A and B are shown apart, each in its own frame.
Chain A
Amino acid sequence: MPFDVVVIGGGVNALTAASYLAKAGRKVTIVCPTDQIGGLCSRHEFYPGFTSPGILYDTSMFRSWVVDELGLKDHGLTYAKSTKTLAFGKDQHIILSEHIDETAEEIAKVSSSDAKNYKEMKAFYGKISGPIIQFLNTIPADIVDPQSSDLWSLFKRGFQLRKLGKKDMLEVLRLAPMAVYDWLDEWFENDGLKAALALLAVTESYSGPWSPGTNANLLIQQVSRGSSVKGDGLALVSALEKAAKSFGAHFETKAKVSAIQPGKGVDLEDNSFIEAKTIVAACGPKNVFLEMMDARHLSNTFEQRVTKFRTRGLCSQLLLAVNKAPSLVGNGEANRILIAEDLDSIERAFDPIKYDEVTSHPCLEIYLPSQEHNDLAPTGQAVISVLIHYTPYSLKGGWTGEAREKLCDNVIETLDNKIPGIKQSIVGKELLTPQDIQERYDLSGGQLCEGEHALDQLLVRPTPECSQYKTPFDGLYLCSGGSFPGGGLTGAPGALAVKMVLRK
């Protein structure tokens, strides 16, 4: 029985795309390679009785217009009142949230001038956010082979930017290629604050805070952050799944695609065939073109470009099963923790991966899911997800048992320093290196954004032929984080790709 569209993948972008397509009246099936829907926010038991919430959790950049258009609120999606992040610096901590005044008050405890500047910086982002948000929520112009519509769209973007006024326009052009180090240095004095703001912006690409271009990522994050979904990534996936089903999308789990036949359908590993004229791939571009397609169908130029798309993983996940929930400073309201002393310590954590080594002082991004999801761990116990920045994809000497143990020890030590007693409470753990992440989630290089967020890879993502979700093959579209505007739980690639699909 043929479908109109088959969506490959099971993550947020796949679900978003499928929902939109089904809503538009297409007969859609999702083929999800694993038994759990959710992609990078899918569950798996990593220790008896303890379940991982997946790797990604931050939903603050999930587009509100997608929520509205798909009516996700009717499917159980609610927003959290406030999402607090506990940022540990050296001998200090700050609690950050999306509430500017509240955060400024927190910052004032470590620096009053930074508190003032924080408000100013937020005001500045607010002022310039218009054209940037618009840019991030539109099908990107093809700047490599521009048609007149692309030129018009570029002109419009330029005009919107110009409308900010000469001074702000020039400031946007100045700040985008900067290193976050320099930018934050211009605003703030407190090391812990700078590190907390920088950490999430630099870890999406092969870069540290000293790397030029990282400020563009900070800018994008700062202007697109809003409220988080209550229950984070898992709750978002469940709302999307319900929405997709309500529109009539069909689900096929544990279905691994072995080959794509553009315009015809997909072959599954169990030798079955799903017929569909349109294929929307919510998996990484390298997976699509280098693994699921016959090399002979790719032109040399295209194949080279896909091969050169940079997908170097730089982050590992350590899942901890603990027998008692960690006690945190600040009333335990925060369910995410950042540990990075200062910008240099992030840079120093980045340095070794260039030589395929790993730092002994990692920076950590911690998520405590059990507060929202009490089914992940037995009562009174908890799951902690720790993202370790940075770790190389291939470690010199290999990711041996010894190397993994050493990394875990370093992480747990760092953790125990900030959250005393956590070490004793650990009953089980699982470490996923970039190689493991690649293996488990089918992510090329274990790159969590399905492609580094470097400037060139944001402007033309992933290749000129595919920068507008179309591909050189009729009926095949891309909609993963490997497409504009990039990785993370934004729903934007999924939603924008569908616009392109429906345009045809």
Chain B
Amino acid sequence: MIKFVSKPKTSSYDAVIVGGGHNGLVCAAYLAKAGKKVLVVEKRPLVGGAAVSEQIAPGFIFSTFSYVVSLFRPHIIRQLNLVKHGLQIIPMETTYNPIPGDKGLVRWADAGRTRHEIARFSQKDASLYSEFGLAMGRLSRFTKNIIDTTAPQPASLNPKELFKLLKMGKIFKNFDGNMRYLNVKLMTMSAIDFLQEWFESEPLLPSMAGSGIIGTFMGIRSPGTAYVLLHHYMGEIDGAYRAWGFSIGGTGQISLACAKSALSFGAEIITDAAVDHIDIKNGRARGIVLENGDDIKAGTVISCLDPNRTFLKMVGEHELSENFITQIKRYKNRGSSGKVNLALSRLPNFRDGRPGQHHLKGDITIAPTIDYVERAYDEAKYGEYSKRPFLNIVIPSLSDPSVAPPGKHVLSAFVQYAPYNIKEGADKWPDKREAFGNAVIDTIEEYCPDIRSCIIHKQIISPWDIEKMTGLTEGNIFQGELSLEQLAFLRPVAEWSRYRTPISKLWMCGSGTHPGGGLMGAPGELAAKTMLTEGGV
């Protein structure tokens, strides 16, 4: 374990990064690696932001918020030597959709076996499944190009930007007509409409579509949710078989590895140090002021916080134009999800008649029907948490025994939907939290009748709690909704999508910038690289 201090060694740095989320740490590591004197300032006692692991009950380590590694960029792992610093990701092999009183559907790494599973529900779907995967794999090359470079600027007349657009146009051009058509559909359609062009059966449809809505305030029928499906097929082009995995020791280990990497390059990290505001004079950032009054000077200040918090709390409206403030205020955060973390005395029984526990090692999705998931969304639209939510459950202790005492388990349920703005008002969440947790456990109980008798300890996290604990505005885990109008050259707002801000020497590097949320590390890396090439630091 590394111990962090809460006092910086000196009072002046090339760059000070506000917020020790994984993107801040990645950014720090890249800047330090380039020889800059960097300080990361984190308000909590531990680094990681929403990617942390905490021991909530003795011997049980919870990945409190972010629970799986999705698209952490492999080149970042290579360039920052993260494996040397303790990072180890094991792939999740299965996706399980339980159905009460049935064997449910398990999709395995083994194509033949998956086909047999799907054939129980539809012969047609079974025979199409691998073809769908191929088409998606092909299209994800397009997506990879988007997430691994700074956002293209369509309004720019800079030849470099035009060239980038041209390059993307070329990839598009190299697709055959069918692929291009598919791409148009994928970028605009709803997950369900898109999938229904291929498949017909439940629970395959809702379970696949579910991945299109995670963390967003949209339903599987909302247009624009289809493209997220691609993320599940990106693993292959990253050279890995599977895109999703667990970090050994919990998600926090990723943050720790990034932190250690940053330290190894000479960066400094302080914790338990809350930033009061960013010090700005004449439209230029000069440093930060901590809540304890300490003043730290910086050549460049980089905010890893979400745009709302960065500009409305850390910078202050008086420093910004009215137009910019309006844009930041209308930037949608809208937390839509919660977490229920359970410490279990034993593995719950799914009553599915399946032998062994292999099928429980990956993610377990509670999304039995399309209507089930859509109804969950309908409730949320009007300010209520879903009584029967869409759940994405993982039991990481099955893959990584170090996170629970022997024979015991940790279960983490990602819950959608839990709107931040419940109709009683967000600050009434503490009164609703217990009932919300019960709705989740009731839901799990329909599949594992013995779940309640297994629970040793539970942690219920509403979006309000996420905001309180991590500072993420409205508890949005992606630092802002991943809807089309808030992506790429529009993230977080038009004309400021290149990590710069209207304040000179203030930059952004969090998920609120391109390419957005998820445990990717890409915003942090791209921000650092942009700053280094454009003389930002």
Contact = CB atoms under 8 A, between A and B. Distances in A.
Direct contact of A and B (CB under 8 A): yes
Given A144-B181, A166-B155, A175-B485, A344 B223 contact: no
B177 interface: yes
Contacts of B485: 174-178, 212
Contacts of B378: 351
B490 A354 contact: no
A305 B188 CA distance: 16
A454 B184 contact: no
Given A144-B177, A459-B188, A212 B222 contact: yes
Contact of B223 (A158, A186, A455): A455
A207 B223 contact: yes
B222 A211 contact: yes
B99 interface: no
A455 B193 CA distance: 12
Contact of B181 (A167, A178, A344, A464): A464
A177 B181 contact: no
B325 interface: no
A298 to B, nearest CB: 16
A169 B185 contact: no
B398 interface: no
Secondary structure class of chain A's binding surface, majority of residues? helix
A145 B180 CA distance: 8
Contact of A354 (B223, B374, B495): B374
A144 B175 CA distance: 9
B371 A354 contact: yes
Interface in A130-171: 143-145, 158, 162, 166-167, 169-171
Interface string B429-461: 000000000000000000000000000000000
A167 B324 CA distance: 12
B483 A212 contact: yes
A455 B494 contact: no
Nearest to B323: A167
Secondary structure class of chain B's binding surface, majority of residues? helix
A355 B181 contact: no
B181 A454 contact: no
A170 B490 contact: yes
B382 A344 contact: yes
Contacts of A310: 193
Contact of B494 (A170, A206, A456, A460): A170
A143 B494 CA distance: 25
A176 B485 CA distance: 8
Contacts of B489: 170, 173
A347 interface: yes
A308 interface: yes
Contacts of B221: 206, 211, 354
Nearest to A207: B223
A213 interface: yes
A144 B374 CA distance: 32
A198 to B, nearest CB: 15
Interface in B199-247: 218, 221-224
Contact of B490 (A173, A206, A344): A173
Contacts of A375: none
A165 B495 CA distance: 12
A455 B154 CA distance: 19
Interface in B77-117: none
Contacts of A174: 485, 490, 494
B332 A182 contact: yes
Interface in A183-202: 186
B197 interface: yes
B371 A456 contact: no
A167 B489 CA distance: 12
A47 interface: no
Interface in B401-428: none
Nearest to A166: B155
B494 A171 contact: yes
Nearest to A185: B330
A206 B219 CA distance: 13
B5 interface: no
B498 interface: no
A6 to B, nearest CB: 30
Contact of B375 (A171, A176, A213, A355): A355
Interface in A427-482: 454-456, 459-460, 464
Interface in A345-364: 347-348, 351, 354-355
A3 B286 CA distance: 80
Contact of B184 (A166, A210, A351, A460): A460
A301 interface: yes
A212 B486 CA distance: 12
B223 A211 contact: yes
A459 B184 contact: yes
A177 B371 contact: no
B178 interface: yes
A206 B221 CA distance: 9
Given A177-B483, A182-B332, A459-B184, 16 more contacts: A143-B180, A166-B155, A166-B495, A169-B155, A173-B494, A175-B485, A176-B485, A210-B222, A212-B223, A212-B483, A213-B188, A301-B178, A456-B188, A456-B189, A460-B181, A464-B181
17 contacts: A143-B180, A158-B154, A169-B154, A170-B489, A171-B494, A173-B490, A176-B485, A212-B222, A212-B224, A305-B181, A310-B193, A344-B381, A354-B374, A455-B223, A456-B188, A456-B189, A464-B181
Interface of B: 154-156, 177-178, 180-181, 184-185, 187-189, 193, 197, 218, 221-224, 330, 332, 371, 374-375, 378, 381-382, 483-485, 489-490, 494-495
